[in-house]
A and B are shown apart, each in its own frame.
Chain A
C-alpha cells in the first residue's frame, strides 16, 4: 500500500482522481492531495495513497516560497532534515518540506529510507527514488505534461497516453525475467532508477544519478582492515534493522527463507524487541518437494518466533493468477512472485511492516560471481562475439530464455528488437565503466543496480503493497551498499565462499548450519506444477489462438515447451520458461490489450 502519483503541465480536471482510482488497491486508507500553479502550463498535482502504517500526512504545501511536496514510503532521516518546532515522532511532511525548499536538489538527495518523493518548487518539479530502489516510480513525458506514479497503470488515467509495447522489451524480459534499466515494457514510459533525481524545468527532463556508490571502492591496498569491515557490516546491519523497526508502532513481521540473509535480519530484529515473539512467515510447496524448513525451524526455535508456515500449491492461487500479475504492473517472470504475494497476504492480517533479507546477494556476493570469474579465466570462446563476450556470458548466467530467443520469438519480432546486440549493449557500460575497477565489484554493481532495483525490490514492493504491507530490506540500505563497496572483493567472495564478510559478521547470532550452508535459492516447483495441476491451465493460456492473436511467438516452439520436448528446447528449464510466458500473457492481455 501507499503510493505516489501526480503530474505537471496543463491542468486537467479529474486526472488526479482517475489516477487515484487506478491505484485504489494501494489507497485503502484513503488518499490525500495537494496542488500548485505557476502559470498556465505549470500546474502541479501530487497525490498520496495512504496506508495503515502512515503516521502523519505525507503531503505538504508551503506558501512562501510556494512549494508542494509528497512522498510514499518511509524517510528515516526526515527529522534531521526538517525545519520546524514540530519535530518528533509522528512528524508530518510540512517541516520536512520547509527543510527541503532551501536547496531542493541537495535536500532531496540527502533523504534516506525506502521512498519515492515529488517536490514542486518555483515552477520546477523534482522526483526522487531512494538509494537502493525499494520503492518504484514510473514517469512519462507526454503532450507537454509529465505524469508520474508508483504503478504504470495509473499513467493510463490520461487516455491520450499510448499503451504501446516496446518490441525490444520482449527479449529483455525473456532473458532477464524483468526489464533492466530505466526503460519499461512500454514505449515512452520510464522507471526512475534508484538514487536518481529527475528534474523537470520548462518542459525539459533531466535525470541525474546522485548515489554513485561505485566511487567508494578503495584504491588497491587502501581498504580498511578486514576485522574493521566485519564489525562495520555487523553494526550497519544492526542500525538498518533498528531504522526499519521504527517505521511502525507495532513490531515488524519477518519473511524467513532459511538462508543467511533473512535469518540475520530476524536475529537483529529479535535483539531490538527482547521478549517479544516476532511474527515470522515462510513458504514451502508440500512435503514432496525440496524445502528449507529445517533451517527455518532452527531460527524459529532459537528466537522463539510466532511462525506461520504457508503451503503454496496451485489450487491456492490459480484462480487469482491474473489478478496477481496485474498487481505486478511491469511483468516479472520469477515464479517467486506468487509466494511473495501470498506471504504478504497472510502477513497483512497480523502486521503492517515486514522485514526481509533482500540485498544480501547483490551486496555481498551473488551466484554469478564464480561463473563470471571462470569465464574471464577461459577468455572468449569461439562462438562468442570478441567485443561483447563477457556481456554475453553474463546473459547466459541468467539461465532463462536467452538461448531460446531466436526460436521462441517470431522472426520479425527478433529482428525488430535489435537481436543479441541490443541485449549485450545493456551491460556494456557496466563492464567498461571505472570505477569500480575490480571485476567482482563490477558484477556487484550490476547486481545492485539492475537485478536489485529492477527485479528483487520492485517485485517485493508490488506484491506487498498490494496487500497493504510495507516491506523493508535492511540489507539493502544505503549504508550497507556503501560498506559493501568499501569491502575488497576477496572479503565478499572469500575463495569460493560467497558473502564471506556477512557470514563473519553474523556468525555469533545465527546457528552454524545456516551460516555455513551453500546458497540454494527458493525452488518453486513450476516444473511439476506445469506438468500436473497447472497443465490444462497452461495449455489454455498458451493456446495457438491466443499466441497468434499477439503475434510475438513461434507457436510451434511454445507447443514443444508445453510438451516438455527435451530434444529441441535449450537447457531444459521448461517450467520456468512456461511460467515466464504465462506471466507475459496475463500481463499483455490486461496492460496492453486492456481486456
Chain B
C-alpha cells in the first residue's frame, strides 16, 4: 500500500497505519472493490485539478466509477490473454494429433475471437453501494475540504449588503437543481467568470436567493436559465419553478438548458445512477435514456468534472443552446478552433 501522505510503501501485514508518517489508511485494498487510499487520492486529484477546483460528491463518485470500470476491463483483458494461451496450446494439440486439422483450427479461432469480444465488451455493472461505501469510508477518516456539501454557504456573510448594488444587474441568472452543484459552481467562481447569479432550486445559498428576488423585481429582463440532471425531477424542474410563487417567475421566460434525455446519448460513457427510491442497486451505462429514467435512474449533470462542466455550462448560457446538444458541441469545436470563446483563454469546454 502506498501512503498518499508521504509516498512510503507499507506492507499490508504491517497494519493500517503508515510506519513512516503515521497516516491512517481508510480503505482496505483486499476488500472489494479493492481500492487503495492512494487510488482514491488520485481520483480526487484528477477531478479537483490537484486542489484547484471544488467538486461534488457525484463528481467523485463518477470518477471512482470510471476507475473501477477501467480496473475491471483490465482484469478482463487478463482473462482474455489466459484464454488465448489455452487456445494456442489446444491448437498445437489439434495440429499434431487430429486429421482435417485446418477445419478444427479455423473453428477454434472463430470461437476464440467470439469469446474474447464477449469477455472484453460485456458491459460491467457496478453496485452503487460499492462506490458509495468506498467514498464514505475514506471521508470518515479524511474529510475532503474541496467537496461541495451544499451546506457550507448557509451562513456566509450574514451581514447585510448595500442595497445600492441592486442598481445593477448580472448578465444572467442560473438556477441549478441541487445545492451541492450550486455550491461547487460558486466555490469555483463560476458566477464571477460568467457575470451570473447562481442559485439552487432549493433556494441555496439563502443569500443568493434573497438577491435573486431583488434582482428579478428590479431587472425583469435578466435572462434566467436552468440546468438539471436527466431525471424525472430534472425534467419537471422548469415547470416547478414557474409554478412556485416564492420564486416569482410566473409568466417569465426560463431557458431550460438540460440535460435533456435525447442529448444524453451523445455521451460515450453515460453513468445512470439508481434513484434511492427505485430499489435498484447497479449503475448502468446502457439503455435508452427515457426508459432508464422511467426505470428509476438518473444521469447526473455532474458526472463531468468541474472544469469541463463549467466550460460547457458557460457556453450554453451564452449561446442559449442545450447542454450536449449537437449545436452546442459544434459551437465548442468551432470556438476551440478559432479561439473565439472564453476570451481566447484556452478554456476547456469538453463535457466528460
Chain A positions within 8 Å of B, measured between CB atoms, are: 288-290, 369-371, 373-383, 393, 396-397, 399, 403, 438-440, 488-490, 493, 495-496, 521, 523-528, 564, 566-576
Contact = CB atoms under 8 A, between A and B. Distances in A.
B166 to A, nearest CB: 9
Contact of A380 (B157, B165, B208): B157
Contacts of B170: 370, 373-374, 496
Contact of A290 (B192, B193, B338): B338
Contacts of A376: 161-162, 165
> Which bucket holds chain B's interface residue count?
35 or more
23 contacts: A290-B340, A371-B191, A374-B192, A374-B195, A374-B196, A378-B156, A378-B186, A378-B191, A379-B156, A379-B161, A382-B152, A382-B187, A397-B192, A399-B343, A440-B168, A488-B167, A489-B164, A493-B168, A496-B195, A523-B339, A566-B307, A567-B50, A574-B346
Contacts of A569: 49
Interface in B295-339: 307, 337-339
Contacts of B342: 572
A525 B339 contact: yes
A223 to B, nearest CB: 12
Given A378-B186, A381-B187, A496-B195, A568 B211 contact: no
Given A370-B170, A440-B168, A527-B345, A381 B207 contact: no
A158 B159 CA distance: 55
Given A381-B186, A493-B168, A527-B339, 11 more contacts: A288-B338, A373-B168, A378-B156, A379-B159, A399-B345, A438-B164, A493-B167, A496-B168, A567-B46, A575-B344, A576-B345
Given A496-B169, A523-B343, A439 B162 contact: yes
A528 B339 contact: yes
Given A290-B344, A439-B162, A375 B192 contact: yes
Interface in B186-229: 186-187, 189, 191-193, 195-197, 205, 207-208, 211, 219, 221-222
A358 B170 CA distance: 25
B171 interface: yes
Contact of B168 (A370, A378, A382, A525): A370
B90 to A, nearest CB: 45
B222 A382 contact: no
- The CB with the most chain A CB atoms within 10 A, among B157, B193, B207, is that of B157
Given A496-B219, A528-B339, A378 B162 contact: no
B169 A495 contact: yes
A570 B219 contact: no
A374 B197 contact: yes
A406 B222 CA distance: 38
B347 interface: yes
B167 A378 contact: no
A289 B50 CA distance: 32
A288 B221 CA distance: 35
Contacts of B165: 373, 376-377, 439
A570 B52 contact: yes
B153 interface: yes
B343 A521 contact: yes
Nearest to A389: B157
Contacts of A373: 165, 168, 170
Given A371-B192, A567-B49, A572-B348, A379 B168 contact: no
Contacts of B307: 566, 572
A439 B211 contact: no
Contacts of B157: 378-380
Given A373-B165, A377-B165, A489-B164, A523 B195 contact: no
Nearest to B218: A495
A403 B192 contact: no
A264 B158 CA distance: 44
B350 to A, nearest CB: 9
